[in-house]
Chains A and B, each alone.
Chain A
Amino acid sequence: MRDTPLSNCERLFLLQAIQEKKRLDGRQTYDYRNIKILFGTDYGCCIVELGKTRVLCQVSCELVPPKDSRPTEGILYFNLELSPMASPAFESNRQSELLVMLNRQLERCLRNSKCIDTESLCVISGEKVWQIRVDVHVLNHDGNLMDAASIAAISALSHFRRPDVAIQGREVTVFSPEERDPIPLSIYHMPICVSFAFFLQGSYLLVDPCEREERVKDGLLVIAMNKHREICSIQSSGGIMLLKDQVKPVEMLLLVEGEHENHSSERIKPFPVLLCFSSFVLMQRKEGGKFGFAESLPIERITALKRDEAPVEMADVKDTAEEIINRTESSTEVYPPGLKTRERSAASPVLVATGTAQVGEGIVNSWGLEEDEDDEVIIEDKGGGTYNHNCICK
């Protein structure tokens, strides 16, 4: 499927609006869209909505042998997928430039910044370490996939709990969540990416571009930062040459992010929000309350509906079933009548050797049996071989 191309008048309209400091959805230049983070029933699963952009992230873990170069460290594996649901332009199993860029930026933001303590993931040095796998699926593309993906990844990592292990010498016992409470990952800081789009040769700047704005941009600057005002990574693409005094005010803006809204509709300030999210969800879990995506269905909306648990009527089920069985003709014969006994026994399996069985014997090989006769004359009649000697020859 191909995406609808951007028309020239749309492009001109957007650029002119940007010159007049106007945006399509009425935001200001430095405004972020509303962010919503929903957590799922199992640990390490979350959905982030950045305006209309929607991203799903799942964290899982597995015990694997460590890398040879780092025997005492755990492994972090990031995988971002652009689901074909997100945009008609995305195709599954296709390595596009955007995909590579997003994956690489996510890795740099989370792995190279050393926000997760990988030493604590080691179980037996050199033999067994935890591999933490982060799968990010983009569900709806309305611009700024990088920010949404980084928020989803770091929220899911904070929410995730890995199973507890006990080591006795060389033996490792992994406890299930029912036996021992799972342990959270040790996270030093939470880097979040913020994207800035540049227009008209770097003269205009927009924070959190939506999909239409991204199409007309000239360059993109992505900065990953954490609460302690440390820059974790910077990436600039599009060939825009930025002056230092253009980058400085950009950093200041990072701390002025839009207000977040968690799934119980409380307005909370930016960075601390991520720290108390996981604890909020755990509280709900402990109280025995219902949690997960099923609970976050917005039932007040007209497009949503929910039904309670309801029993299925079983009143005349048995009668209906028996009636149908009696109506159909019972066929006890496995083979159609009239089949010769020789062929019937050919259908039962024969054990040829240990581990090898065969059903049927096939046709007897008649190659090379009639070499005495006139070969040149009869060869055409023989056809290609024994398998078609019934159809071609007489």
Chain B
Amino acid sequence: MTDISATGQVVCMRGPMELDQSSPVLREYGSEQSLLSRPDGSSTFVQGDTSILAGVYGPAEVKVSKEIYDRATVEVLIQSKMGLPSVRERAREQCVRETCEAALLLTLHPRSSFTLILQVVHEDGSLLSCCLNAACMALMDAGLPMNNLFCGVTCAISKEGQIITDPTARQEKESRALLTFAIDSVEHNVLMSSTTGSFSVPELQQCIAISQKASEQIFSFYRDSVKRRYSKMK
């Protein structure tokens, strides 16, 4: 466990030296749950400077046009800070929705809806993986029944072939390929992958292996958050 009190008082700048590290690094991350009073479950997930706020309602009433007779309907809405929603948000929504549908036990709530709303509070790289992490923490906060937890990890392959995890916006811009994977908590399988750019098959397999290693850290973070939250209960 890290020393939490020290984190709040350390004053340091993210220097250029950290970008050239040989081993990939997960940026400082943190989360808070149950911060909004209206949604059934809410959370905020912060990775470096990227910050996402997630709220989930469910199981709730669903419109007749959208209802499915034997399972629940999952709706995901990603809202960016400025401007109207575009196709980019729709693509991310689909990635998050498919991951949630794989993780949630939908057959327990037929003809109901689970609505997950994600608000981008600040964007600084690794947006899709931060959305996935915030979504999972919100679903946990709402107490929705799930098969397994999931987490998102983004890898960037630089022009020299070096693999960087959890890239910042600047690192993403300078990379040759960007890969995001959703990893499940039970068997560390890949639930969803979203990639842009060109890369070779060995590089893909290495990125998957690195993401699986990084996901272990994130899952232990989930476990610690829940342990901390319920630590006062006997």
Contact = CB atoms under 8 A, between A and B. Distances in A.
Given A42-B122, A84-B77, A292 B49 contact: yes
B91 interface: no
Contact of A312 (B36, B61, B210): B210
A81 B231 CA distance: 38
Contact of B119 (A139, A305, A306, A317): A139
A305 B31 contact: yes
B21 to A, nearest CB: 8
B57 A293 contact: no
A321 B208 contact: yes
A289 B11 contact: yes
B81 A41 contact: no
Interface string A280-323: 00000001111011110111011111111111111001101110
B209 interface: yes
A310 B46 contact: no
A298 B12 contact: no
Interface in B90-121: 113, 115, 117, 119, 121
Contacts of B165: 312
Contacts of B124: 41
A325 B201 contact: yes
Given A290-B11, A306-B7, A1 B60 contact: yes
Nearest to A298: B32
B122 A317 contact: no
B228 A299 contact: no
Interface residues of B, number: 68
Interface stretch (B143-151, B173-181, B217-225): B217-225
Contacts of A141: 38
A48 B42 CA distance: 17
Interface in A106-163: 133, 135, 137, 139-142
Given A139-B53, A297-B30, A312-B217, A302 B61 contact: no
B2 interface: yes
B4 interface: yes
B38 A88 contact: yes
B152 interface: no
Nearest to B47: A294
A303 B46 CA distance: 14
Given A85-B55, A137-B119, A142 B26 contact: no
B46 A305 contact: no
Contacts of B31: 297, 304-305
Q: Would you call the interface of chain B mostly helix, strand, loop, or mixed?
A: mixed
Given A60-B82, A298-B32, A303-B34, A308 B7 contact: yes
Contact of B28 (A47, A137, A308): A308
Interface in A358-393: none
Contact of A292 (B119, B122, B201): B122
A290 B13 CA distance: 7
A318 B206 contact: yes
Interface in A70-116: 81, 83-88, 92
A142 B53 CA distance: 17
Contacts of A324: 205, 209
Contact of B121 (A47, A305, A311): A47
Contacts of A290: 10-13
B11 A305 contact: no
Interface in B11-28: 11-13, 18, 21, 23-28
A310 to B, nearest CB: 6
Contacts of A60: 82
Nearest to B218: A307
B214 A312 contact: yes
B8 interface: yes
Contacts of A142: 37-38
A2 interface: yes
Contact of B30 (A54, A135, A306): A306
Contacts of A318: 206
Given A306-B4, A318-B206, A321-B202, A52 B32 contact: no
Given A294-B49, A312-B25, A325 B119 contact: no
Contacts of A295: 8
B33 interface: yes
A83 B117 contact: yes
A295 B11 CA distance: 11
B60 A301 contact: no
Contacts of B27: 309
Contacts of A302: 228-229, 231-232
B171 interface: no
A87 B55 CA distance: 10
Contacts of B126: none
Given A294-B30, A297-B30, A299-B4, 4 more contacts: A2-B61, A84-B117, A140-B37, A304-B33
The 5 closest A-B pairs by CB, nearest first: A306-B30, A321-B205, A85-B55, A304-B32, A85-B117
29 contacts: A1-B60, A1-B113, A40-B51, A45-B121, A47-B121, A56-B53, A56-B81, A85-B38, A85-B39, A133-B82, A137-B79, A139-B55, A287-B11, A294-B30, A294-B46, A294-B122, A297-B32, A297-B44, A298-B32, A304-B32, A305-B31, A305-B32, A307-B29, A308-B7, A311-B26, A312-B25, A313-B23, A322-B202, A325-B205
